[in-house]
Chain A
Amino acid sequence: MVERFLPSDKKREMLQKANVVTNPEYGTPPNERQIEDYIKNGIVNIDKPPGPTSHEVVSWVKKILNVKKAGHAGTLELPSEA
């Protein structure tokens, strides 16, 4: 399989400036968030069906997951439009 790269795929080097640790008493690594919190800070990669608009899909997802607010990151242009 051919690897297809976007510029951001390039391996990036880190510079370590200080040697400090983080206190486990506050904050949570993203994958360890409590489920309600995890959902409220979450992203879903949805294969949008061709009929409904993105706006409709967003409102369905809000109903399914019971969240008050949600947004989407782009729609496709339709080939049939001028």
Chain B
Amino acid sequence: MALESATKVVQALLPAGKEYVCVIRLHGDVSESRLREVVNEFAGQIYQRPPLRSSVKRRVRIREIYYIELNEVEGRNGLLRVGCEAGTYIRKLCHDIGEVLGCGAHMRELRRTRTGPFKEDTITNLYDLVDAYHFWKEDGDESFLRKIIQPMENALEHIPKIFIRDSAVDSLCHGANLTAPGIVKLESEIKAGDLVSIFTLKNEAVALGIAKMSSQEMYTSNHGVAVEINRVLMEPGTYPPMWKKHDRSEEAEE
């Protein structure tokens, strides 16, 4: 859950990979080795059509199962752990496993154990949240809140990062695109068209955007739009507006 200004990063979590643990209930009896064999067939790319009750268009699409494990079997119940691409329907996956087995199956229980960078190790509950808040308000102890609440930057760990110089920050906060000279350091595997996140050298998130160049091009270029900004995350004025004379004239030449 994202608070106040951090709400803007929620969109960055939607395309992130997920992990689920579920119980699959078979409609017939199958040997454990046969079940394991079929489950393993579903690793890699699979076809899925979204179910009736879904908000997306119901056409067959490909999704990737990064890993699928059968952790336990008890009679007709199996415990599966699945790492998958965003938009994978686990219910449909269980159904399809049942189809391949021949006896049919359905998903009995489901728990999401990972959303992009967030795993179960940082999970909390409402009771702990209430307590943490009171420790702060009543005792002046911030430490519990600081442990339970994470900076929104943590929600962007799975997205390729580009770090910029201080002088480039404020113009991005006003919606300007990022040009190549503003870049100080960047991940090496960015392709044009990728979603990227832009950070200050203090590791603060500035904005999200779509890369217009590859990492190599961004690295070697002295001009041109490197990233088209589509979401500003930082308040304008956090960094002072610094329009260096020579940067300005480079932009004017575009």
Contacts and interface: CB of A to CB of B under 8 A. Distances in A.
Interface of A: 2, 4-8, 12-18, 20-23, 26-31, 33, 35, 38-47, 49, 57-58, 60-61, 64-65, 67-74, 76-77, 79, 81-82
B110 A79 contact: yes
A65 B133 CA distance: 7
B192 interface: no
B200 to A, nearest CB: 6
13 contacts: A5-B83, A6-B83, A13-B188, A15-B188, A16-B184, A20-B165, A41-B152, A42-B2, A44-B149, A69-B7, A70-B3, A73-B155, A74-B14
B123 to A, nearest CB: 5
Interface of B: 1-7, 9-10, 13-14, 16-17, 19, 51-53, 66-67, 69, 81, 83, 89-91, 106-112, 114-118, 122-126, 129-130, 133, 136, 142, 145-146, 148-155, 157-160, 165-166, 169, 183-189, 200-204, 215, 218-219, 238-240
A29 B154 contact: no
A26 B239 contact: yes
B112 A76 contact: yes
A69 B4 contact: yes
B24 to A, nearest CB: 10
A57 to B, nearest CB: 7
A8 B160 CA distance: 9
- Interface SS, A side: loop
B215 A15 contact: yes
Contact of B187 (A5, A13, A60, A70): A13
Given A14-B187, A38-B149, A44-B150, A71 B203 contact: no
A57 B126 contact: yes
B130 to A, nearest CB: 5
Given A5-B67, A43-B3, 11 more contacts: A6-B158, A8-B157, A8-B159, A26-B238, A28-B202, A29-B202, A41-B6, A41-B151, A64-B130, A70-B3, A79-B91
Given A8-B158, A70-B2, A73-B1, A43 B17 contact: no
B202 A27 contact: yes
